[in-house]
Amino acid sequence: MPTFKDTAHAFIPYPEVSVPAAAKGPLTGLSFAVKDLFDVAGYPTSGGQPLMLAMSGIKTRTAPTVQRLLDAGALFIGKVVTDELAFSMNGNNAHFGAPINGAAPSRITGGSSSGSAAAVSNELADFALGTDTGGSVRAPASHCGLFGIRPTHGRISLEGCLDLSPSFDTCGWFARDAQTFSRVADVLLGLDTMPVASKLRLLAPTDVWGLLEPGPSLALTPARSRIEKTLGEAEPTKVVFGSFEDMYWNFRYLQGREAWATDGDFIERYSPPLGPGVSERFAWSKNVTDEQVAKARLFRSNFRDHLAQLLGTNGVLLMPTMPDVAPLRTDSEASLEDYRNRAIRMLCISGLSGFPQISLPLVKSNGSPLGISLLGPAGSDRSLIAIAEQLAG
């Protein structure tokens, strides 16, 4: 438990345990929080679920990715709330509460890395680790006015981290400023296998932009123009494969099958109380068929090839991160679910392809943050962050 006052309700109130960090390193002077999916020696790992917390026991080994940050001199200040079993995008955990959005307190943080985004946006931590399966870093980053990345799938280790859907799960992080974000990248990412920054070809997916309502589209226009002035005019293109409905459902079939494979035995054996939305998603996931999965795997392979061909070695998509600013905390569960389903149509582009996407906090709409994103080829993560630094400067 942090020694400071947790005004954001971001941290899990565990008894404080000493977690040693290197005295000097590239992250010396920075504090960080960790989503409660990652193991940290001396702490349990709850996955946002009370029964899983009860079964966890105290971990004796720290997840390698967390250890890399400690070895780089970053100071661990606590574990933070995640949506239940990481299977939500709202940031409202029925058991541990809803962390507060530091940039728009009347609006949700977004999930499932809700506590991570709340800790950073409320200036309680300099950066925070999260995970992104269907949008769980990108959505909170957009909602809370933060830099956030879903890296190339498999680029950062998830050893010692609870799974949701392993073929989609990634480790990302949040920061308020580009410089801090880049310092963390230097530690976690290493060199790109597909650098694009020096020979960038900017692309504007007209079909993705077409998913926006007039309000958010208008709000994003000045940032888009500014980016194009810096990087060159964006070439219109289309990324949709089949239709957005096809992309949405094939993503959901694969995510659902893997989520049930991960947590279904736990759910059926112990019948844990699951919060609204999470319960329904697992019930739906249980009934995904083998035929749906087989077709979805083929679809994903074809979509990945389609997007790889579109981007080549130096193409970068300029696109909205989310369909709108964060919903209000008072919105109904049905309204939140509708927003989540709209968002997945944008977010599944990176998820299905496994390609990196970074959300930049360059826009406000009606006083609330709204992210704009860069999405590049597999292995271009560090280049995207370098571009983000250039744009934020």
- Which residues are known catalytic residues? 35, 112, 136
The token pair that represents 134 in the structure block: 């269907």
* Residue 300 near residue 247, CB atoms below 8 Å: no
Q: Write out the E strands in the chain.
A: 31-35, 75-80, 127-132, 147-150, 170-175, 201-205, 235-237, 315-320, 357-365, 368-375
CA distance 130 to 117: 8
| Rounded Cα gap, residues 39 and 327, in angstroms | 31
Residue type for position 248: Y
Its sign, for the CA torsion 376, 381, 386, 390, is positive
Taking residue 193's Cβ as centre, other Cβ atoms within 10 Å add up to 13
- Provide the residue type at 129 as one letter: L
Max CA pair span of the chain: 57
Q: Encoding tokens for residue 392?
A: 């934020």
Per-residue tokens: 195: 């650098």
Sign of CA dihedral 299, 150, 191, 307: positive
**Please, how many CA atoms are within 13 Å of residue 116, restricted to the half-sphere of its CB?**
35
CB 339 within 8 A of CB 156: no
Separation between Cα atoms, residue 67 and residue 61, nearest integer Å: 9
SS3 (DSSP) at 146:
coil
* Distance from C-alpha of 49 to C-alpha of 272, rounded to nearest angstrom: 8
Please give the Cα distance from 349 to 226 (Å, whole number): 24
Smallest CA-to-CA distance from 124 within 254, 39, 6, 269 is with: 6
CA distances from 284 to 94, 256, 257, 288 (A): 19, 8, 9, 7
Q: What residues pair up with 149 in beta bridges, in sequence order?
A: 358
